[in-house]
Amino acid sequence: MSLAEQFRAKLTRMSSGHLLVLGASIIWILFCMRFWSAIDREHVWQRRFIAIGAGIGGGLIYLIGVMMLQMLKEPPPPKELEGSEIRVSPRKHDAAGK
């Protein structure tokens, strides 16, 4: 299987939430790279910090987004209990009430 086919197969398995998180991460990186290109070449350290911030920020956006998608997933339905697994305790009657 070629690399392009593997990418297409993975992309078709992604949910819309995952694509939204991936898109937000890519937009952050492109936004930072816009500022990176606007900074003069003489300011090497500023450009490096912007590039590092773009990478770390994009990764954190993706990581936190995927974690939030996991939290927002619907929990599986509760397991049905069989009759032998159900326990009934007798009620304690109040002596003062009778």
* Structure confidence at residue 51 as a pLDDT band (50, 70, 90): very high
Reported as a single tens digit per residue, the pLDDT across 11-41 is: 667 678 888 999 999 999 999 999 999 999 9
The domain spans of the chain are: 24-73
Judged against a pLDDT cut of 90, whether residue 63 lies above it is answered with: yes
pTM of the model: 0.62
Q: Are 35 and 52 in contact (CB under 8 A)?
A: no
Q: Residue 62 class from Cβ within 10 Å (0-12 exposed, 13-18 middle, 19+ buried)?
A: middle
